[in-house]
Structure 1
């Protein structure tokens, strides 16, 4: 049983190393083209396999008293933990927002002025767009105080927009 516990402890140590320098180790493991492309040998997967084998083997041996049962239990638990940890790390690595905020998509959006905008000068506005809180430089032909609501009328640069006071919006039916 001691051997299984030492192997399980090695899995825990490998998991600790994976948490600290896992990306470096995964880069080394992934450098052999073709063999490691499927993330089967990710650091988290190896830690799950080794730890699961060690502790599962100790449980199987402790319950049955038979080494082959301990080895089989360890292999089953190790493979399950390796698969689960590999899937989880793959999901976490590949998650991200596909809703990247682009300045040109902000035209027509409502925003709040957070830094006063002087006439023909720059201030800042904040708005929520596609689930992102966006703060961007803003310019206006009229002075607009902090806290006022505005709408984005044009894109000036990738980091600045033109705004108008919300009351300057044309009413429905006007201009048609």
Structure 2
């Protein structure tokens, strides 16, 4: 007795394939939009409304994947069932587009600390890492905005390695005038 294996191939409905392509394209555009490329603007560049790129891309992605799921669950082969799949995709897409628009707006308008400048160096405490001679430069390490920064340093008197210093003046972006602390 010989058993024959029959190869079965799962056929994906054309509607499902189209919905999956729409969903994939939406997710791809959403990823690009969230990375800051902003390929298209559907409104004034300074305005962020319900038609932002993130909202449109989120809508397209959720619509495509939601409609594909409903289409497969219904086994949609008739126009009425495909219309039901479209409605199911829209039900998934509207809240997704709203969330994508809100989250992208929140990320764009997030408050951040100002970029530190040389004026933020004044008053910083630190340590001498290379001795400072009277007529030349040594090196100090200070913390600015929580980050360690190594700077060239001058002083009115020699300061040895390991001594604590106080920045009196910022001579440039990379050099300071210091005194012992």
Q: How high is the TM-score relative to the length of structure 1?
A: 0.69
2:69 corresponds to which of 59, 71, 79: 59
Per the alignment, residue 173 of structure 1 pairs with none
Change (3 A) 1:43 1:149: same
For structure 2, the 5+ residue unaligned runs are: 1-15, 76-80
1:25 aligns with one of 24, 28, 39:
39
For these two proteins, the number of residue pairs brought into alignment is 161
TM-score (norm 2): 0.67
**Structure 1 residue 119 displacement after superposition:** 1.7
Q: Which runs of 5+ in 1 are unaligned?
A: 167-176
**Distance across 2 between alignment mates of 1:42 and 1:146:** 56
Two-structure CA RMSD over aligned residues (Å): 3.2
Task: Write the distance in 1 (CA, Å) between the matches of 2:109 and 2:151.
Answer: 28
Aligned to 1:128: 143
Deviations 1:76-132 (CA, angstroms, capped at 9, x unpaired): 322333233333333333446324324334433311223432223223322223334
By percentage of residues, which structure has more helix?
A: 1
In structure 2, relative to structure 1, the CA distance for the partners of 1:121 and 1:49 (3 Å cut) is same
Deviation at 1:18, TM superposition (A): 4.2
Identify the residue that residue 13 of structure 2 maps to in structure 1: none
In 2 relative to 1, CA 147–90 (structure 1 residues): closer, same or farther, beyond 3 Å? farther
